[in-house]
Amino acid sequence: MTDTFGGRLAAQFAAGRRLCVGIDPHASTLAAWQLDDTAANAERLGREVVAAAAGEVACIKPQIAFFERFGSAGYVALERVFADAREAGLLVIADVKRGDIGSTFAAYADAWLKPGSPLEADAMTVHAYQGLGTLAGASEYTSEHGKGLFVLSATSNPEAKAVQLAHVETGETLAQYVLSGARDMNAAQGGEVGSVGVVLGATVNLDDFAIDRATTHDGPVVPVLAPGFGFQGASVGEVRELFASLAAGVLVSESRSIVNGGADQVGSSIALSNERIMEAYA
């Protein structure tokens, strides 16, 4: 059996690597790099970020929409970024936010998690608003092929709050229900760190969502993909205060604060973020 995604993530944590660099080739970001808004330049940006990140960060997280907007040329660019990342030994989280029922979700999993797929990543972001049971379409990949999932739980966009604060049959908020479900799925697999994680925004008050962040639970650590650090305003120095017991599984996700300074500053921005993370976890 292939090493689990959680096991590979645990190795990154043990090596002191918790930074997840987002690759989001906005038109404005390409302009900051003095590049035209084209698929070829999205590829160039992505591959240069991968080169700077190799051996320095836990993972990269390409935001698929910023490649997809170029159509087939964007997917070719994305495949090349993925290939470079695999060659560099970087974990890749495909930020695709897919979700559906039955065979449709299984097809999404085939696209993004199936070994040998041109779009093969180590993990993908998903939503479970049609029920946690719909994630079963990826179970073969998480249990047999070392892949991971990050399920949207409490996100920073204000439009999501009304949905994520809704209460489900268990009495939990939807956000907490997703976290509970991730814990249950990881418990079945075992290991130090689970392969099913959640997305929790670093700029939101998790207590507002009734997220259980104060209790240490038995079983694997739940990976937490935490966007919102850097450009969006959250401070890495507050990671333990923000996430409490969940901090053990946090991947510090930064995109614009790493990439927007231009090609010449990516390496130094990664180094600075790593320094801040190391201080926060010392």
Residue numbers annotated as active site: 97
> What gap in Å lies between CA 31 and CA 69, rounded to an integer?
17
How remote is the C-alpha of 17 from its chain's centroid? 14
Encoded amino acid at 173, one letter: T
CB of 200 closer than 8 Å to CB of 224:
yes
Cα distances (angstroms) measured from residue 123 to each of 85, 194, 240: 13, 12, 25
Tokens of 259: 């990439």
CA proximity to 268, closest of 257, 282, 253, 279: 257
CA proximity to 90, closest of 121, 66, 117, 63: 121
> What gap in Å lies between CA 259 and CA 2, rounded to an integer?
32
